[in-house]
Amino acid sequence: MARINDSYLKLKAGYLFPEIGRRVKNFAEANPNAKIIRLGIGDVTRPLAPAVLEAFHQAVDDLGRGESFHGYGPEQGYDFLINVIIDKVYKPLGVSLKSSEVFISDGSKCDTANILDIFDLGNKVALGDPVYPVYNDTNVMVGRSGEADEKGYYEGLVYMPCLEENGFLPELPQEQVDLIYLCFPNNPTGTVASKAELKKWVDFALEKNALILFDAAYEAFITEADIPRSIFEIPGAEKCSIEFRSFSKTSGFTGVRCALTVIPDGVFGTNNNGEKIQLNKLWNRRQSTKFNGVSYPVQKAAAAVYSEEGWKQVKETIDYYMENARIICEGLKQAGLSVYGGVNAPYIWLKTPQGLSSWDFFDKLLNECHVVGTPGSGFGPSGEGYFRLSAFGDRENIQEAVTRIKTKFT
């Protein structure tokens, strides 16, 4: 019989969202007239921008005609999309990239997971706590960790607690680490890093020969000036960083699927003999072998995000979500809650009142306000005592949810 990868058995069963679903279902059955408002999941709710949809349609029609049919595309993505990204996304930030440094993919979830393919298991990995669970679980799956302790920390991984006391910013690890996951604007805390803060990490990585895996999935939600949108805005990052970006939250592509990963030519790892090897070349080899590219219509639709008309429309939707975030933050503050995030990210991270646990607050919010959020403890041990609300949703629902919370908590 086939032997399984035992590392999978170390994982805590996908616990968070099924448990939320179970509790909401029980509540709904017991209270059939309650109008439940869901601010729990991290998924967009607004439709695709018209200009994006039009490009999508046109590209589908291209496939129906012999002269404009497309079969397999380049595994790395079409130049028409890569060049738009280089010109419209990176150039305005003062970052110049070659087209071979950008890889188009079907998602940042898979890229942040698959990147582990090109690294040795002996690397020490540092990650935030709380954290986007993919970074943690994929390291467990490949066999880089031991078992989880009773708190939920896996042996062998280096956790960087992000708490109210440190402004939810991870602190530089004391021990030697080789791979460092950073996510700004952060999911779940909504925290951003200033240029000075990111420079600290880049300098650290250069000094310690570590690699930064930078997840910029929420960069489009930054509203404050001077907050870096890319790690490559920091001098030296092009020697020590890989950046992941996604069309998912930026332009409502969670169901369409398109993302990109940037690996500059100047980023190296070492082989068994201590020789320097370009990571770009390894990733290119990995993608060419295990991936066959994103569909042509999806890449056409993605390119339209950065057309003049497309971006105007996409930006309107982002502004809509960020106004939701502002309404939530303001309302919760008026209710006397301690509120973080929500200014440069579509997530609001709040401290549970009266010392309630994350799950007790979840139940209280569900039972008393009929509002669903996400318990912070689901993102890691340091998320205990915190709670995430998402700004994705319809304005009326958001306003209604805030009104209910204010009524119950003030």
Ligand X SMILES: *Cc1c(COP(=O)(O)O)cnc(C)c1O
Residue span 17-56 as binding mask against ligand X, x where in contact by CB under 6 A, dash where not: -------------------------x--------------
Applying CB under 6 A, the span of 102-110, 233-241, 327-335, 369-377 interacting with ligand X comes to 102-110
Q: Residues 145, 155: contact at Cβ < 8 Å?
A: yes
Q: Are 212 and 242 in contact (CB under 8 A)?
A: yes
Q: Which residues are within 8 A (CB) of 48 and not within 5 positions of it... i.e. 6 or more apart?
A: 56, 251, 252, 253, 256, 301
* Residue 132 binds to ligand X (criterion: CB under 6 A): yes
The whole-angstrom distance between residue 94's C-alpha and the CA centroid of its chain comes to 23
374-375 and 386-390 strand pairing: antiparallel
Q: Which of 246, 250, 295, 352 binds ligand X (CB under 6 A)?
A: 246
Q: Per CB under 6 A, does 254 bind ligand X?
A: yes
Nearest distance in Å: CB 226, ligand X: 22
Kindly tell me which of 305 and 405 has the beta carbon lying closer to ligand X. Answer: 305
Contact with ligand X (CB under 6 A) among 139, 187, 250, 377: 187
Distance between CA atoms of 110 and 244, rounded to whole angstroms? 10
By DSSP bridging, strand 158-161 and strand 125-129 are parallel
388 binds ligand X (CB under 6 A): no
Judge whether 321 and 346 are in contact, CB under 8 Å. Answer: yes
Among 45, 76, 108, 138, binds ligand X (CB under 6 A): 108
Stretch binding ligand X (CB under 6 A), from 198-206, 234-242, 247-255, 317-325: 247-255
Using Cβ positions, the residue closest to ligand X within the complex turns out to be: 107
The nearer residue to ligand X, 144 or 257, going by C-beta atoms, is 257
Exposure b/e, 298-313, CB count within 10 A at least 16 = b:
bbbbbbbbbbeebbeb
- Least Å distance, CB 275 to ligand X, is 32
Calpha distance 23→105 (Å, rounded): 35
| Cβ–Cβ < 8 Å for 244, 232 | no
Nearer to ligand X, 140 or 213 (CB): 213
Say whether residue 344 binds ligand X (CB under 6 A): no
Contact between 129 and ligand X per CB under 6 A: no
Q: Which amino acid is at 362?
A: F
Which lies closer to ligand X via its Cβ, residue 153 or residue 218? 218
- In this structure, the strands spanning 37-38 and 371-372 are parallel
The rounded distance, in Å, linking the Cα atoms of 147 and 7 is 9
Residue 107 is a binding residue for ligand X (CB under 6 A): yes
Length of the chain: 410
Site for ligand X contains 183 (CB under 6 A):
yes
Q: Which stretch binds ligand X (CB under 6 A): 19-27, 228-236, 246-254, 379-387?
A: 246-254
Closer of 103 and 369 to ligand X (Cβ): 103
Q: What is the per-residue binding string for ligand X in 210-239, x denoting contact by CB under 6 A?
A: -----x-x----------------------
Burial annotation 80-115 (CB, 10 A radius, 16+ → b, else e): ebbebbbeebbeeeebebeeebbbbbbbbbbbbbbb
The residues of the shown chain that bind ligand X, judged by CB under 6 A, are 42, 107-109, 132, 183, 187, 215, 217, 246, 248-249, 254, 259
